[in-house]
A and B are shown apart, each in its own frame.
Chain A
Amino acid sequence: SQELEQSPQSLIVQEGKNLTINCTSSKTLYGLYWYKQKYGEGLIFLMMLQKGGEEKSHEKITAKLDEKKQQSSLHITASQPSHAGIYLCGADPISRGSGNTGKLIFGQGTTLQVKP
């Protein structure tokens, strides 16, 4: 079955530093989603990427999807304590029927701590 692998599993950075979280799939993806979660709370939508080579930015967070649509990265510039949380990548695998069903699979998450 198709799986998403996130790396690193956890990350501790000093405030102001840049960081990157990666999400890799063994198969081509229809859509790639990035979410942020505080423990015990719902998922907050960050960005969605669908086209190979696509890149989107929101405030200090940038997400990219590679040309083969199998790997995505999330980059945070000048991290702040408000960026702390669990980052999850989710994907709509083409193998699930025709794709674009919204039936997402998720990575295990990356826990980010930002030290003031």
Chain B
Amino acid sequence: SQTIHQWPATLVQPVGSPLSLECTVEGTSNPNLYWYRQAAGRGLQLLFYSVGIGQISSEVPQNLSASRPQDRQFILSSKKLLLSDSGFYLCAWRRVLNGNTIYFGEGSWLTVV
């Protein structure tokens, strides 16, 4: 069966520090991968979308970047965090060839102080 994991689960970082959140999918190949942010009172917003290794689409202008160094690995990064980067980050995946269901990871809480 397929599973998705995110880490770390919780992170408290000072303003200006770097960020790296990691997401890994198991049990499937060539998934579509997504990073969403859920900020208080704003709902879920799509940040990045990837259809394959090295292929990243940014959906909104922001201080963050994403990379996909391996087929089932998706990384969310920042060189210098802003207070506004605080939020709950969710990774998601979709198996393209057999069904369109999108599954989400457990999420990562980021607090920038």
Contacts and interface: CB of A to CB of B under 8 A. Distances in A.
Q: Do A and B interact?
A: yes
Interface in B60-80: none
B101 interface: yes
Interface of A: 31, 33, 35, 40-45, 48, 50, 88, 90, 92, 100-109
Contacts, number: 55
9 contacts: A40-B107, A42-B90, A43-B92, A44-B104, A45-B102, A100-B100, A101-B49, A107-B43, A108-B43
Contacts of A107: 43
Contacts of A92: 100
B46 A103 contact: yes
B101 A106 contact: no
Of B49, B102, B105, most buried by chain A (CB within 10 Å of CB) is: B102
Given A40-B88, A41-B107, A102 B34 contact: yes
A106 B34 contact: no
B46 A104 contact: yes
B44 A45 contact: no
**Closest CB pairs A-B (n = 7):** A43-B104, A106-B44, A42-B106, A102-B94, A42-B104, A42-B107, A108-B43
Contact of B104 (A31, A35, A103): A35
B59 interface: yes
B32 interface: yes
B109 interface: yes
A50 B44 CA distance: 21
A114 B85 CA distance: 33
Contacts of A45: 101-104
